[in-house]
Structure 1
Amino acid sequence: MPDPRARETGGTADVPLWHTLPAEQAQALLRTGVQGLDAAEAARRLAQHGPNRLAPPRRRSALMRLLLQFHNILLYVMLGAAVVTAALGHWLDTTVLLAAVLINAAIGFIQEGKAEDALEGIRAMLSPHAMVLRGGERREIDAAGLVPGDVVAVASGDRIPADLRLLAAHELRVEEAALTGESMPVEKDTAAVAADAPLGDRSGMAYAGTLVVHGQATGLVVATGGATELGRINRMLAGIEAQTTPLLRQIDRFGRVLAVAILALAAATFALGTLWRGHPPAEMFMMVVALAASAIPEGLPAIMTVTLALGVQRMARRQAIVRRLPAVEALGAVTVVCSDKTGTLTRNEMTVQRVVCSGQVFDVGGVGYSPVGGFSLDGRAVPADRHPALALAVQVGVLCNDARLREAAGQWHVEGDPTEGALLVLGRKAGLAQGDAQARWPRCGVIPFESEHRFMATHHVDAGGQPWLFVKGAPERVLDLCHAEVGPGGEPQPLEIDTWRRWATDTAAQGLRLLGLACKRGAPAGERLAFADVEGGYTMLALVGIVDPPRAEAVQAVRQCHQAGIRVKMITGDHAETARAIGAQLAIGVGRPAVTGAEIALMDDAALRRTVHDVDVFARASPEHKLRLVQAMQDSGHVVAMTGDGVNDAPALKRADVGVAMGLKGTEAAKEAADMVLADDNFATIARAVREGRAVYDNLKKFILFMLPTNGGEALVVIAAILFELTLPLTAAQVLWINMVTSSTLGLALAFEPPEGDVMQRRPRPPAAALLSGFFVWRVLMVATLMMACSLGLFLWELSQGTDLAVARTLAVNAIVVAEMFYLVNSRHFFAPVLNRQGLTGNRYVLLAIAACVPLQLAFTYLPAMQAFFGSAGLSALEWLKVLGAGLFVFLAAELEKLVIRRTGIVA
């Protein structure tokens, strides 16, 4: 036996690997016996090891968390805009900007507080009470008082209060999905296993936080509090820093570059004006302030928040509940989706798909617990009652069964073991309801399933009063009980055991779980059914192949992800054969091997990065394995979305760029660690959310491509006026009017833009890509130049005709605003034309924004109070035509550029 005195991961050399030790040796090491500890020794150990609870996480103070919310480039931009408006004396604008800063900081403060609740979700999994033997007496105590060496009794419905080495187990099955991801309850016994056995295969152990679903046991406490497997995951989770999203990284880089550019431009302009043109420094300072005001994208933080919030609403309608706002866009940048199998890619409803009997293989139609489907043989539909062996096998599956199949509100569900439920559904498909079968063949005795014997047996009496014994269980065990089989015509014939074994191997290779069904005419030897009655003499009826089938919509969703350039990887706690077979049905990892957690543990980081590039199916994965897989993909440059439902998934969910928890069967720890929760536990919802995330990013980019030319046009107007000794066409107040009132009002409409038609046919954008490509920089400069030419050209033309300065400036302001209105329609599509009905009217919010902007401009132009404040003046009908002509010129030029791009094949 390998040296047990070392933990597999992260422990110390003096901590035994308890699953490798016989129960007696474990008791000896902890100096305890079957009577448990006495009160004095328990008190001494409690003082030594501390209470059986997870230590609360260390949290930053509320003040520190609040201050750190302001360390954000978006808020720096808003604060910069507030300083500019304050310098100009526009206190209302300053107040609005500062309020926006405080609101954003408050939202971040609240969300960060929620994120830390993930650790509380794990702590809540520990059982509050425990039944313990102290000095030979059973007593219920607060589970926090458990110590290593205590002997604990557990029964069906109990939550395991600490890590236990089992001393005795009777029909014990434990739901360990939260820790291991195993889809089915695990049968437990007292046997020791190999040192490298995965957590889900350690049959002699029961772990804190897992749930007893059947049977009873006594166990020796070997670890409490932070030393348990649950505590180890808690420490992993506490040590993981949440990842920032690709968009925030892009915005951060974009904001820094823009801030440097604005400062450099302002400094150069100030130097040119004072040193070259000889303007007074005070006058040049106000001009530079106007220039900075025109260049700062004041509306960006607001539009970003609104766009993300709208994405949250759309995703919620599609069953995806977003817990952290930036995760909306991060979904659009995902390059790899790592998904759990059970319930996410599959239905979590065991289904019989194949029955092998009488030398024939019957395929069974339908999936899930809904009893819809039939039997087919060689592709032809056949009635079950025409095949004696098949009909009798179905009957045995229904009667040798403790589950219940029920219908409620049109939905079928199983009470009890899912595998037994699949046999009840099979009976319904054959026309045999459980109630009818039990009425005709009443049960007289039963031997419940035990992992030690690996079968269940029942005693029945048929309508003629004849006794029957039925058995179901592991195929090899059932075959050992049989001496005959049923032929095609229902006649008994000698058992061809090698043929049955070959069928079993072939069926298992397809990822199906196998059950054997057999029967025997006769009654128990005594009054009650006993193990001696199941020693032999049975007739083999059938092998039943059962699987948790893939969701039909998940198959389509995986295909959509592949079309969108997103790789889908399955990471499950299930067995490798099952995972590989389900993966093949979903087109995940076809023709490639499945890698197990034990193999991952042997790889260094470089080898793991190579492996995740080539392999798409990972089985028997522990929390450390899942975390390492996510990190390896991120180190390879991927943006990773990770799904999960158990506490074992929480570290990987937190580490992933987008953590996705299951809403129906997910633990609170998983939900709190995740960025998004699927209300329907359906992988297809992830694909829909990715589509929404890409649309959100597109809309943000469209807003930036709309906003930057506007701000750039104003800046070019100011720079040109300074360089060429011209009268300033726009005052600082007018610049702020354009930026704060019209640009933000118009740009907001792009947040409502529906997804582009090809959004899921594109490759994922590179995570390190700049927010604006070189081609889009060209578009910004082109449109900004067009707007500057229209505005400055009209201004200079009017001045040359002797027009009043106020009127000329009003013309310049309106030319920019009307050009924005036209360009807003251009901005609906990056490259597609908008000169069609869909392009012009497809987003009603664009039309509403333009309609809202028109009265604002009329008020700016004609209201006396506005004229006094902004220095504007009324315009004539002819002057308005000139303004409209300027806007139409920008619109047509932008559409012409798109046409050239489409014709020449240039791409962004």
Structure 2
Amino acid sequence: MPAQEVAAALHVDDAVLQQGLTQQAASQRLQHYGPNRLPEGRRRSAWMRFVLQFHNILLYIMLAAALVTALLGHWVDTGVLLAAVLVNAVIGYIQEGKAEAALDAIRGMLSLQATVVRDGQRQLVDAQALVPGDLVLLTSGDRVPADVRLVAVTELRVDEAALTGESLPVDKQVAAVAADAPLGDRRSMAFSGTVVVYGQARGLVVATGSHTEIGHINAMLASVDVATTPLIRQINGFGHKLALVILAVAALTFVLGTLARGIPASEMFLMVVALVASAIPEGLPAIMTVTLALGVQRMARRHAIVRRLPAVETLGSVTVICSDKTGTLTRNEMTVQRVVCADGQYTVEGAGYVPQGRILRGDAVVDAACEPVLAQAICAGVLCNDARLRQHGDAWQVDGDPTEGALLVLGHKADGPAPFAQDALEDAWPRVHAIPFESEHRFMATLHRSQQGRQHRIFLKGAPEVLLGFCNTQATADGCAPLDVDYWRRMGNDLAARGLRVLALATKDSPVAPAELTHADVQQGCTLLALVGIVDPPRQEAQAAVAECHQAGITVKMITGDHAETARAIGAQLGIGVGKPALTGAEFALLDDMALRQIANDVDVFARASPEQKLRLVQALQASGQVVAMTGDGVNDAPALKRADVGVAMGRKGTEAAKEAGDIVLGDDNFATIAHAVEEGRAVYDNLRKFILFMLPTNGGEALIVIAAILFHLTLPLTAAQVLWINMVTSSALGLALAFEKAEPGIMARPPRAPGTPLLDGMAVWRIVLISAVMMVTALGLFLWELQLGASVEVARTMAVNTVVLSEMFYLLCSRHITGSVLNREGLIGNPYVLLSIAACVPLQLLFTYWPAMHTIMGSASLDGAQWTKVLAAGSAVLVVAELDKAFWRRRERE
């Protein structure tokens, strides 16, 4: 609404617009509205947050295992299990504290002090003391202390990227905008937490504290629940089901042993406890932590810093990546791509601020010095310019407006026999005076004199529709010609349709140097030189990464604060949303949740999106069954980052609020790094699944041996102590080596697993049953065979124990690939950690077999060469059967 209506709504009169509030009125309003700060929600105590970390099925299983081992007197095992429980709880506690730090980071964005006018005096006050109706003064470098309706503006530009995602500083104005204008288009407002990069302004505070736009985002962030990762959901469900199966089997075994076999209840209880201890996957949390930690290390080497361990695996299961455009998919370095003159069009090669690239006319390389109109246009762009291009080592950077920087880079690319670089041109044409760019007028003009002082020339740059009104001629190779307005409008529309930001360049000779340059000096009689098409170009590696994601079955959606035409054109260059319409924030706001769910999966480019809309988009995609990764850098992205299955924040240009809300921080702000992280995430999930497929059959085989013996009224092949020994020596120690497996070939060529896919599919269940049965048959069969040959029970049991352990060693080799064969050089020796873990188990089994103390403790006995040969043959049966099973599944996949 107009400034006068805003003032009336705030109950301030014209005097306040000049003199500000009185101190008394400010104090009264402070009591009414409260301090200008964001509220802190009620927090759980540190002790309660720590206690709640133990509310986890896996930790319950580990505590149960610790209790069992304590009952059996295995105090070392008890200590290790309790330590693992404590470490997991501490990690969860720290992560929850990080989530709360996101809210603190937003509060930290608020200005500490503000310059106001009160009682007619300019004062520096604590920003918390600001109230609606206060008259605030803003100048370059200030952080806006509250939401302010501007009433006077002098060349004000505000960086709103953190709030709106707008890639360039926004020019502000006093004129009112539409009431329903998107946040990024409210040019008459300056918002709390944004930064003034140029100019000065005066404005009325219209909202403070939680009523500001940043306050709304803070409230959203506080109300957003963190989504549970797919892995945690799967492990929790798996843990519950496994616990029920273990308890049911244990109860059945106890009943059969005591009632059917007549085994004393005390002895049977110890056996059941041993079976439960062996069946409980107490190594699973540890292997999860180690596998995820190794993934973290590998991702860190690729510039992805992981702040929350489960996010590593979750990236591997994402089905949709919602990515910010500026700086992530693009370079965040404006670049001139096309120059249109009256008698020719030019393409400029290169991207970013590195001044390398040729200028082409058609397919031919041109020398700018030999193209008179192009040369004049480049001179105008370089001289009518306040930015500076600097080189720091191998890097180039622009000090000033990025668009002006792009014109300087163009000058360097054209630099040759005729100097077009900034310093050379400024020496030849020193600046005398200038009209700075103002949003109301949308152009800049500079007055220059020749080095000899005999000639004066005005250069202009600005919006094409403005400069067309100043010009009556156009420059051609033969001199000046009447202005062809239709041609220039057609060319401007063509550049805009390509997603380019269009600037016009013009000039005017001034035979008499004015004392200072005025608007009247440039508003007529100018000659139009060229239209320049400027863009923030896509990263080359991002284009390849988007294609790789598409190949991997992952949909990439682009969300930006830029306008729809620009967003759609950049998306097309990246391969995002090709042939599909872009959805703007205004259109987004008209959709209810049900309609949004339907459209969210079909539309890939979202423009002018507000923080609420980004959050709604993530929620809509999740509601339709997608696993969503969200990237962002601003405080406006924080709610969506927190709600997404994986929040990916930018490390270089990201705000602290975004980093604290995210699960992963990109050290290079590059989308390609996300694609690498997805590959690592898939490898982590594969390794966890390999461990489970290794652990369950080995634990199952031990249980089946005892259960079969009880069912068939046989001598028990394993004692309770021997079951615990096998479990301690092999299950976790051997399985840990699988955490070091590399990603399998073609891992990014397969689609992401469906969110509802169980941890164990039909093939996995079959594998578990098959291998458990093979281990049971070989170990129990060998045990009974030895007894029949006259061996003692101790010798037969020792052979059964070694058969189980050797079976697990051979099966570990098989487990390196779920369906791929390991009967090759890579399969057998490709993972040195597998060989080391096997080598570590060998001396332990020799101690078990030959050390007299173990004979007493474990009931073992020494074996001779013939008996070891039988053990080796029985143990290797698992390798043969598992490889045959893999061959069957590979053939089925091919068919």
TM-score after normalising by structure 1? 0.96
Query: Is 1:39 matched with 2:29?
Result: no
**Partner Cα separation in structure 1 for residue 6 and residue 747 of structure 2:** 59
What letter matches 1:234 in structure 2?
N
**Partner Cα separation in structure 2 for residue 304 and residue 416 of structure 1:** 48
CA drift of 1:865 comes to 2.6
**Partner Cα separation in structure 2 for residue 167 and residue 886 of structure 1:** 88
Alpha-carbon contact 2:456-2:513 (below 8 Å) kept = no
Query: Is 1:30 matched with 2:10?
Result: yes
**Partner Cα separation in structure 2 for residue 329 and residue 902 of structure 1:** 25
Match of 2:383 among 392, 399, 410: 399
Q: Specify the SS of the correspondent of 1:152.
A: strand
Query: Is 1:693 matched with 2:681?
Result: yes
CA drift of 1:81 comes to 1.1
Moved more, 83-92 or 97-106: 83-92
Alpha-carbon contact 1:459-1:523 (below 8 Å) kept = no
Query: Is 1:472 matched with 2:461?
Result: yes
Per-residue Cα deviation, 1:242-290 (whole angstroms, up to 9, x for no partner) = 1110001000111111011111111112222233333332232222212
**Partner Cα separation in structure 1 for residue 511 and residue 438 of structure 2:** 22
Q: Give the corresponding residue for 2:320.
A: 336
Q: Give the corresponding residue for 1:890.
A: 878
Alpha-carbon contact 1:472-1:518 (below 8 Å) kept = yes
Q: Give the corresponding residue for 1:603.
A: 591
Per-residue Cα deviation, 1:196-234 (whole angstroms, up to 9, x for no partner) = 100000011000000000000011001111111111110
**Partner Cα separation in structure 2 for residue 164 and residue 466 of structure 1:** 46
Moved more, 185-194 or 24-33: 24-33
CA drift of 1:851 comes to 1.3
Query: Is 1:485 matched with 2:471?
Result: no
CA change 1:524–1:413 in 2 (3 A) is: farther
Q: Specify the SS of the correspondent of 1:550.
A: coil
Moved more, 670-679 or 808-817: 808-817
CA drift of 1:898 comes to 1.3
Q: Give the corresponding residue for 1:196.
A: 180
**Partner Cα separation in structure 1 for residue 478 and residue 374 of structure 2:** 9
Query: Is 1:825 matched with 2:813?
Result: yes
**Partner Cα separation in structure 2 for residue 125 and residue 451 of structure 1:** 27
Per-residue Cα deviation, 1:485-522 (whole angstroms, up to 9, x for no partner) = 112x2411111011100000011011000000011111
Moved more, 34-43 or 275-284: 275-284
Query: Is 1:871 matched with 2:855?
Result: no
CA drift of 1:61 comes to 1.1
In percent, how many aligned pairs have the same letter?
Answer: 67
**Partner Cα separation in structure 2 for residue 607 and residue 273 of structure 1:** 61
Moved more, 598-607 or 731-740: 731-740
Q: Give the corresponding residue for 2:348.
A: 364
Query: Is 1:771 matched with 2:764?
Result: no
What letter matches 2:7 in structure 1?
Q
Query: Is 1:242 matched with 2:222?
Result: no
CA drift of 1:844 comes to 1.0
**Partner Cα separation in structure 1 for residue 475 and residue 514 of structure 2:** 28
CA change 1:906–1:66 in 2 (3 A) is: farther
CA drift of 1:535 comes to 1.6
Alpha-carbon contact 1:469-1:523 (below 8 Å) kept = no
Alpha-carbon contact 1:298-1:740 (below 8 Å) kept = no
CA drift of 1:735 comes to 1.3
Q: Give the corresponding residue for 1:433.
A: 421
Moved more, 202-211 or 56-65: 56-65
Q: Give the corresponding residue for 1:572.
A: 560
CA drift of 1:524 comes to 6.0
CA change 1:365–1:906 in 2 (3 A) is: closer
Moved more, 625-634 or 444-453: 444-453
What letter matches 2:565 in structure 1?
E
What letter matches 1:824 in structure 2?
L
What letter matches 2:320 in structure 1?
V
**Partner Cα separation in structure 2 for residue 729 and residue 326 of structure 1:** 40
Query: Is 1:409 matched with 2:393?
Result: yes
Q: Specify the SS of the correspondent of 1:803.
A: coil
What letter matches 1:862 in structure 2?
Y
CA drift of 1:366 comes to 0.3
What letter matches 1:31 in structure 2?
H
Match of 1:737 among 715, 718, 725: 725
**Partner Cα separation in structure 2 for residue 280 and residue 739 of structure 1:** 24
Alpha-carbon contact 1:207-1:229 (below 8 Å) kept = yes
**Partner Cα separation in structure 2 for residue 73 and residue 473 of structure 1:** 64
Alpha-carbon contact 1:608-1:629 (below 8 Å) kept = yes
Alpha-carbon contact 1:389-1:490 (below 8 Å) kept = no
Q: Give the corresponding residue for 2:620.
A: 632
Query: Is 1:380 matched with 2:360?
Result: no
Aligned residues: 886
What letter matches 1:486 in structure 2?
A
Match of 2:533 among 545, 559, 582: 545
Q: Specify the SS of the correspondent of 2:157.
A: strand
Q: Give the corresponding residue for 1:66.
A: 50
Query: Is 1:667 matched with 2:671?
Result: no
Query: Is 1:703 matched with 2:677?
Result: no
Q: Give the corresponding residue for 2:132.
A: 148
Per-residue Cα deviation, 1:169-214 (whole angstroms, up to 9, x for no partner) = 1000000011100000000011111111000000110000000000
Alpha-carbon contact 1:815-1:886 (below 8 Å) kept = yes
CA drift of 1:740 comes to 2.0
Per-residue Cα deviation, 1:732-753 (whole angstroms, up to 9, x for no partner) = 2221221122221111110000
Q: Give the corresponding residue for 2:828.
A: 840
Query: Is 1:184 matched with 2:173?
Result: no
Any residues of structure 2 matched to 1:144-543 within 5 Å, and which?
A: 144-431=128-415, 432-464=420-452, 465-487=454-476, 489-523=477-511, 526-543=514-531
Q: Specify the SS of the correspondent of 1:614.
A: coil
**Partner Cα separation in structure 2 for residue 297 and residue 452 of structure 1:** 69
Q: Give the corresponding residue for 1:6.
A: none
**Partner Cα separation in structure 1 for residue 557 and residue 401 of structure 2:** 29
Match of 1:798 among 753, 777, 786: 786
What letter matches 1:606 in structure 2?
M
Per-residue Cα deviation, 1:751-798 (whole angstroms, up to 9, x for no partner) = 000001011011111111110101110001111111111111111111
**Partner Cα separation in structure 2 for residue 605 and residue 28 of structure 1:** 37
What letter matches 2:507 in structure 1?
C
Alpha-carbon contact 1:511-1:577 (below 8 Å) kept = yes
Q: Specify the SS of the correspondent of 1:450.
A: coil
What letter matches 2:468 in structure 1?
L
CA change 1:789–1:97 in 2 (3 A) is: same
CA drift of 1:571 comes to 0.9
**Partner Cα separation in structure 2 for residue 298 and residue 222 of structure 1:** 58
Query: Is 1:808 matched with 2:796?
Result: yes
Q: Specify the SS of the correspondent of 1:449.
A: coil
What letter matches 2:33 in structure 1?
H
**Partner Cα separation in structure 1 for residue 571 and residue 693 of structure 2:** 42
**Partner Cα separation in structure 1 for residue 511 and residue 316 of structure 2:** 65
Alpha-carbon contact 2:430-2:451 (below 8 Å) kept = no
Alpha-carbon contact 1:659-1:676 (below 8 Å) kept = yes
Q: Specify the SS of the correspondent of 1:514.
A: strand
**Partner Cα separation in structure 2 for residue 195 and residue 868 of structure 1:** 87
Q: Give the corresponding residue for 1:682.
A: 670
Aligned residues: CA RMSD: 1.1
Q: Specify the SS of the correspondent of 1:856.
A: helix
**Partner Cα separation in structure 1 for residue 859 and residue 673 of structure 2:** 54
CA change 1:584–1:828 in 2 (3 A) is: same
Per-residue Cα deviation, 1:375-416 (whole angstroms, up to 9, x for no partner) = 111122121112110011001101110000000011011000
CA drift of 1:544 comes to 0.1
Per-residue Cα deviation, 1:142-187 (whole angstroms, up to 9, x for no partner) = 1010011100001000000000010101000000011100000000
**Partner Cα separation in structure 2 for residue 759 and residue 128 of structure 1:** 50
Per-residue Cα deviation, 1:297-318 (whole angstroms, up to 9, x for no partner) = 1211111110011011111110
Name stretches of at least 5 consecutive residues in structure 1 with no aligned partner.
1-20
Any residues of structure 2 matched to 1:555-570 within 5 Å, and which?
A: 555-570=543-558
